[in-house]
Amino acid sequence: MREPSKVFVQVGPTDVLTAAAPNGHRWATDQAVVSWSDGPAASTGAPGEITVTATGGISRVALRWDQQLPERALILGDAWERSYGDLQWRHVQPDRFLPWYWLAHDQQTGATTGMGVDVQPAAFCSWTVDRTGVTLWLDLRNGGGPTELGGRRLEVAVVRQFEDAGTPWQTLGAAVEAMSSHLPVQAEIGPVVGANNWYYAYGEGFDEKAVLQDAATIVELADGHPVKPFSVVDDGWNPGGNASGGPWESGIPGLFDDLAGTAAAIKQLGARPGLWFRPLLSRESGPWARPGRADGTGRALDPTYPEVLDLVRADLQRFRSWGFELVKHDFSTYDVFGRFGPAMGARLTDSGWQFHDPTRTTAEIVLDFYQVIRAAAEDVVLIGCNTVGHLAAGLVDVQRTGDDTSGRDWERTRKMGVNSLAFRLPQHRRFFTLDADCVPCTPQTPWELNQSFLDLVARSGSALFVSVDPAARTERTDRELADGIRLALSGGDTIEPLDWLENTTPNTWRTGSGTVHYDWSLPWGADPASG
């Protein structure tokens, strides 16, 4: 692909970008050199490989391509970690940061093109798009300060250009395929379907008895399907309260006295046991805390300390020894950056702090952390929640791609769940198995709408987890839950949103059996918070 027209470099802690002098395929300042080389040919064209060498601290590199956009272009990008109901096609917005990739759809010709970076880069990569060109921003910082490369040659990212593949949906699918084409073939894990107690228990008032009831429910609803469902013990099993930190060595006394026994009992009922944990937060004081990060339930841990990675390895090995076959690791992006995705923006985190090891970029540190978890988990099915999808691709089996749905507020399920599924489904089975989050069945939310979401998720073939409040079970809910669960366990269907260019929560979907229309609206006049 065509190399950039201009390159700018930001060194040190200032926000000043300095134009780098071009020399062939290199651009240089007195402290840094940015190089471009053409990679091997691929189905979407020859990619470009970016490397950076710096003698001192480096913060960002900006690469600019001068090009005209169509007058009536719609632009789509991704999100730093989970999406928050905010993925959508929009008209050109020059200040809009587009993490990882962008597509432009010409409403006059129908053509869709774009650019992106391969998964597992060494920088947090985002784009801005305006009428006269596009800019790729490579965030090379270490926490809130510059990374001290010390002359190291850093292979930062592989950049690809995407050509029209027929429709916007097909073009996004081809783009995702290209960006993940270098990943090794992952082991087949089959359909991921099961129960998760979060959206009716919310981490409170449940014990082993309730967990085993959930397991019995999902097995009953699966109705003898040859693929066994999971039953996940979500947040609340560990001392310290909701979203607390470790140590992850035992459950709450009197409620979860024997986690190995709990896992064995779930298996005895015919389900596969799963467990939630928050790896980078500790309730204990210690020397390995991330600077400036503490909340009411503990201190965030700095993953550049070898001792922290040893703790995480030991946690995964303990969960395996207890007999858990699935582990959901959560909150690590928040514990690293001190922010959730929407607040990360272009700066990612607060200025003025760095990791214990200042010689690696934050992207390198996060990627190494995911690799440690993957290796320690061995054959355990890994779910990444609040993890960075473009870095976790190939290192988690399942990725929670949207913020929480809700067993209390239907509008949240529509906003988060439907949006995530519609705009990130092309990542499914390419980056990881997609998880748009749980389908609730609770007295506080309308089953008619939850059932529509259940049907959509089941058809998609993505991960399906249900949160079934025993108080909400009826003959009808059981029948429709069973239909959805068995469809998902059988692999689902092929689906595509047909109105996603103008609708953030698409209503009309093409499926293998025809077009399906979903009405996500609450009854006229209903209070969205009341269900």
Give yes or no for a contact between 49 and 61, defined as CB atoms under 8 angstroms apart.
no
CATH code of the domain made up of 213-494: 3.20.20.70
Alpha carbon distance 245, 312 (integer Å): 12
My answer on whether omega of the bond before 497 falls inside 30° of 0, hence cis, is no
Task: Provide the pLDDT for residue 500.
Answer: 98
Alpha carbon distance 371, 358 (integer Å): 19
Strand 73-77 with 101-106, pairing = antiparallel
Alpha carbon distance 490, 265 (integer Å): 25
Task: Provide the pLDDT for residue 43.
Answer: 42
Task: Provide the pLDDT for residue 46.
Answer: 82
Task: Name the residue ranges covered by the structural domains of the chain.
Answer: 6-179, 213-494
Task: Provide the pLDDT for residue 40.
Answer: 59
Q: CA-CA distances (angstroms) from residue 399 to 115, 206, 328, 341, 430?
A: 23, 26, 9, 15, 11
Alpha carbon distance 288, 300 (integer Å): 9
> CA nearest 54: which of 35, 70, 33, 74?
33
Please calculate the CA angle 340-346-347 and round it to the nearest 5 degrees.
Answer: 75
Q: Within 13 A of 426's CA, how many CA atoms are on the CB side?
A: 18
Give yes or no for a contact between 309 and 60, defined as CB atoms under 8 angstroms apart.
no
Both tokens assigned to 71: 């007058």
Give yes or no for a contact between 316 and 373, defined as CB atoms under 8 angstroms apart.
yes
Q: Is the pTM of this model over 0.85?
A: yes
Alpha carbon distance 272, 212 (integer Å): 11
Both tokens assigned to 234: 């979500």
Alpha-carbon dihedral angle through residues 408, 413, 416, 418, given to the nearest 10 degrees: 180
Task: Provide the pLDDT for residue 136.
Answer: 98
| Predicted confidence pLDDT, tens digits, the chain (531 residues) | 899 999 999 998 888 999 999 999 999 999 999 999 986 554 446 899 999 999 999 999 999 999 999 889 999 999 999 999 999 999 999 999 999 999 999 999 999 999 999 999 999 999 999 999 999 999 999 999 999 999 999 999 999 999 999 999 999 999 999 999 999 988 889 999 999 999 999 999 899 999 999 999 999 999 999 999 999 999 999 998 889 999 999 999 999 999 999 999 999 999 999 999 999 999 998 889 988 666 556 899 999 999 999 999 999 999 999 999 999 999 999 999 999 999 999 999 999 999 999 999 999 999 999 999 999 999 999 999 999 999 999 999 999 999 999 999 999 999 999 999 999 999 999 999 999 999 999 999 999 999 999 999 999 999 999 999 999 999 999 999 999 999 999 999 999 999 999 999 999 999 998 999 999 997 754 554 443
Task: Provide the pLDDT for residue 48.
Answer: 96
Give yes or no for a contact between 125 and 136, defined as CB atoms under 8 angstroms apart.
yes
Alpha carbon distance 432, 428 (integer Å): 6
Give yes or no for a contact between 233 and 262, defined as CB atoms under 8 angstroms apart.
yes
> CA nearest 401: which of 319, 480, 460, 486?
460
Task: Provide the pLDDT for residue 259.
Answer: 98
